[in-house]
Amino acid sequence: MEKTAKPSLQSTIRSAHDLIEAGLASESDRTHLETVAQHYATAVPPAFQALIEDPNDPIGKQVIPTANELITQNYEMNDPIGDEAFSPLPGLIHRYEDRVLLKPLLICPLYCRFCFRREHVGPDGGLLSKNDLTKAFEWIDSHPEIQEVILSGGDPLMLSPRRLSFIISHLSSITHIHTIRIHTRVPVAAPELINHELLQALDSEKAVWMVLHINHAQELGPSAKAAIKSLVKEGIPLLSQSVLLRGINDNLDSLETLLRSLIQLRIKPYYLHHLDPAPGTSHFHVPVEKGLALLKALRGRVSGLAWPHYVVDIPGGKGKVPLGPSYLLPKENSYNGEEKIYSFRGDIHNFR
């Protein structure tokens, strides 16, 4: 597709019609875009629209739906990391003993085309009811082994400041909770939401950490940088998580630039995720051998401050496994006493 003019920045793009009107898709794409929309939500907010120079650039590829999403591989699954098996109550995931994940909503400012929760998130995802939140708080309070609560979803910074403050305050009042961690895409996707009211809502005597999902340095435009700077000024420690994505950041220059850009903004690179096998995402897949080669090439080129953990979340709820030269297991080793860890061309799809 030829390079197009900048799309309209008046509102969030949510439909095939919107994409075509904004110049991010052609009329010939309408049928498959409408078919994809029957399964997965679309949202491209104004701030992200402003970053797209071409529908096939590293920003456009992340958020513009394509017919590739209609192709499902036999190893892909609706719940690729096994969340549902670890959910004691609506909105809660308790996979690890000392921490719990709380999903107060399933709404995001944008819908990444590779999202591992793409079957569940969307504009109709709604909020946890006050009753469900109360039950979640009571459950957390009754489990003293839990020291950390991770707010995810959906994107918790899409909550109103009032509701976010309500959640932060209740979690802060639980004696055995020491850390509140927030996973978000808002500072790059909808930086205008990082305002005084929201920053006040984040105030807590407990340690509040924030993990920003950023996949390419091009996401760090002036508005995003200003939003990140305001978070830094509040003294909130910032980490990043990125997904290794084919055609977006799976080359040495892009990955190095991303990591260096994050450090310059006082964001510590935390996780580089191997792609989770969600339905219709195989066109983003990067072989694990390539991920390892990229990490090896980066060693010595970037500061240790910029070094992320390259991890795979083993399907079925087995948890995250770090990958890298110092962690690589020999072929004869197995997990769960059954399958060899790299028995299929070194491809992580063997973790089924």
Looking at the annotation, which residues are catalytic? 95-96, 99, 108, 112, 115, 117, 276, 313, 320
Q: Distance between CA atoms of 7 and 24, rounded to whole angstroms?
A: 7
What phi-psi label fits residue 153: left (phi over 0), alpha (psi between -120 and 50 degrees) or beta?
Answer: left
The SS3 call for residue 310 is: strand
Name 309's bridge partners: 271
Listed residue (259, 269, 267, 271) closest to 216, CA to CA:
259
- 161 touches 169 (CB < 8 A): no
Q: Are 237 and 209 in contact (CB under 8 A)?
A: yes
End-to-end CA distance of the chain: 36
The tokens for 116 are 């591992």
CB 228 within 8 A of CB 187: yes
Q: Of the candidates 239, 341, 273, which has an alpha carbon nearest to the alpha carbon of residue 114?
A: 273
Q: Is the dihedral of CA 134, 151, 44, 273 positive or negative?
A: negative
How many CA atoms lie less than 13 Å away from 160 in the CB half-sphere? Answer: 5
Q: What is the largest CA-CA distance in the chain?
A: 58
Residue 17: count of CB within 10 angstroms of its CB: 13
Amino acid at 48: F
